[in-house]
Amino acid sequence: MLASAIRRDISFGVLRPDQKLKIDALRQAYGGSTHSMRETLRMLTAEGMVEATSQRGFRVTSASEEDRQDILLMRLEVERLGLARSMERGGVAWEGRLVAAQHALSRADAAVQADPGDLTALQWDEACRSFAGTLVEACASPRLVDVAARFFNQSRRFRLARLREGGIDFAARGARRDALCRAVLDRDVPRALTLQAEDIRADMGA
């Protein structure tokens, strides 16, 4: 899928922040028709990965410190609301999905430490996305879930950069998420929200 390939290359820095995205060059690199490539770039624009410039086509969104702080702000606010509502509304089935997502993420943590190659890193990032998404999925607001996913996706470049640079404390990360799951299962809302915020800040390198 064109969007997946371009999204991956933006996340890994193959397509650099602020780089102009020319339709013909992208078609040579990724395939597809002019129409399908233009639609793909519009979709990635809606996700915040690409920006449409007036009369100038498309470019990769910037990845400055200001961008990181803004994405962090949005993740903290949106995901907090999503988790609080999920803990009010989620039942046993949601709890089971959360435990499964945490188990999958623990396995992905171990795998990426053993082999930090691009494929394993993408699988690890998908496990991160699944865990964060499961925390908010029982909020009974599809729009809130969509917004949370959008800003999580925009954080990928920062998370994968920290992974490549060896900046992730996996032991602390695992302990924090175990504690977060326990707090959710115990329906301890204040503790769960505190741990979630700590986890988002650590994920974003804050």
What integer pLDDT is reported at residue 77 of this predicted model?
97
Based on its alpha-carbon atoms, the radius of gyration of the chain, rounded to whole angstroms, reads 18
Tokens representing residue 79 in the block = 């995901």
CB 124 within 8 A of CB 108: yes
| CATH 3.40.140.10 given to domain 2-60 | no
* CATH 3.40.1390.10 describes domain 65-203: no
The Cα–Cα gap between 75 and 70 comes to 9
Smallest Cα–Cα separation from 125: which of 112, 144, 114? 112
- Closest C-alpha to 82, from 204, 193, 165: 193
Taken in order 89, 92, 97, 98, the sign of the CA dihedral is positive
Q: Where in the chain is the domain with CATH 1.20.120.530?
A: 65-203
* Confidence at residue 156, expressed as pLDDT on a 0 to 100 scale: 87
Residue 56 confidence (pLDDT): 72
pTM above 0.75, yes or no: yes
The pLDDT assigned to 5 comes to: 86
* CATH 1.10.10.10 domain position(s) in the chain: 2-60
pLDDT in tens, 6-56: 888 888 888 888 889 888 898 988 888 888 998 999 888 888 888 888 767
CB 145 within 8 A of CB 137: yes
The pLDDT score that the predictor gives to residue 120 is 92
Amino acid (1-letter code) at residue 118: D
List the chain residues with pLDDT less than 70: 55
The angle subtended at Cα 98 by Cα 93 and Cα 172, nearest 5°, is 160
